[in-house]
Amino acid sequence: FPTRFPPYPCIVLNAQIDLYLTYTDSTGTEIDTVIHVLPTSPVDEDQSSCGTVVFIQNQAISSQILHINLDHVRWNVRFAFTTDSRLNAVDEFALYQVNVTANYPATKALFTNAPDSVYHYFQPVDLKNVPAVADSIYAHLNKSLSCTAAQKFIINSDPKKGPLAS
């Protein structure tokens, strides 16, 4: 997923991404679905940033945001990376949050009894309990992470905090 390169380090992601999402259909049944993020999915350069501040629990976290528009109308996935040690990054970029916007109403023909609302799959981040993905997906500065084995990470497993996703 290419993006503009600024004069300072910026994360570049080359990955096969499958999103496992759960939605409640029009009959009230929970449905699991898989969304494949195609390599041709474009980076939204207006929503992406190689240097922005994200506030987590009132703490400023220097972050790099990669926002990818999916091949479904108004669907996207947002990855947040940081070099901040509060998120277990030490001289490395660590992925600490994945969020997905799923516009089921705009893509009803693709999903069985699709819901009438847009779902926002949000990965909660707690600085005292860093998401497992931050300890698994990282690359040292000026280096790269290469992993050919499939890995699965939870985006949200608490239905009180939103729809389930990994």
Nearest alpha carbon to residue 111 among 20, 18, 25: 25
Residue 139 lies in a domain: yes
pLDDT tens digit string along 2-56?
445 555 567 777 778 888 888 888 888 888 888 889 989 998 989 988 888 999 9
What value does the mean pLDDT take over residues 106-114? 87
Phi, psi of 11 (to 5 degrees): -70, 140
The continuous run of DSSP H or E covering 79 comes out as strand 76-82
Residue 12 lies in a domain: no
CATH number at residue 52: 2.40.160
Residue 7 lies in a domain: no
Total tally of structural domains belonging to the chain: 1
The reported pTM is 0.84
Q: How far is CA 150 from the centre of its chain?
A: 16
pLDDT tens digit string along 133-161?
766 665 656 655 556 556 666 677 777 66
Phi, psi of 5 (to 5 degrees): -105, 120
pLDDT at 70 (0 to 100):
94
For residue 132, the one-letter residue type is A
